[in-house]
Amino acid sequence: MAKRSSRKAVLIVDDNSEIRRHLHEVFTVDDFEVCAEADNGRAAIEQAGRHRPELIILDLSMPVMTGWDAAPKLRKIVPKTPIILYTLFAESISPTDLKEQGITAVVSKNEPIESLVQKAENLFQN
């Protein structure tokens, strides 16, 4: 088995290819590397099983399977991997609901992208 680098492997899940491209760019720096991308929750589950990411950036609203529906299934595949829900609807989701779905944190797409990267970095500083 190939030795994985010391950088954290990130799975990016969003149905918008431009958002995925932008996230790929910002997570291909410093402590992170993108191991895979997916455009819906079902594809995310397949990629998580194949790549065992150390971080998942997950959109909420997607075709085929939403991030909300995929999160508990992802949690079973990679139980210790932080899942950050990256959505326009961040303010409408309660912390209790996030926890019940297995989601570690939420970041609004209305915030600067640096907020998402900072949240990800903070999750690994503990």
**Residue that is written with structure tokens 């150390």 in the block:** 54
Mean pLDDT by 10 residues, the chain (126 residues): 68 96 88 94 97 95 92 96 88 80 92 91 82
Percentage, residues of the chain above pLDDT 70: 94
pTM exceeding the 0.75 threshold for the entire prediction: yes
CA–CA gap between residue 94 and residue 74 (Å, rounded): 20
**Which pLDDT tens digit goes with each residue over 50-80?**
999 999 999 998 999 999 999 999 999 999 9
Domains of the chain (ranges; CATH) run: 8-90 (3.40.50.2300)
CA angle, 6 then 7 then 10, to 5°: 140
Identity of residue 94: S
Mean pLDDT of the chain, nearest integer: 89
Token pair listed for 55? 């971080």
In the three-class reduction of DSSP (H, G, I as helix; E, B as strand; rest coil), residue 57 is classed as strand
**Which residue matches tokens 């303010």?**
91
Nearest to 39 by CA among 65, 69, 10: 65
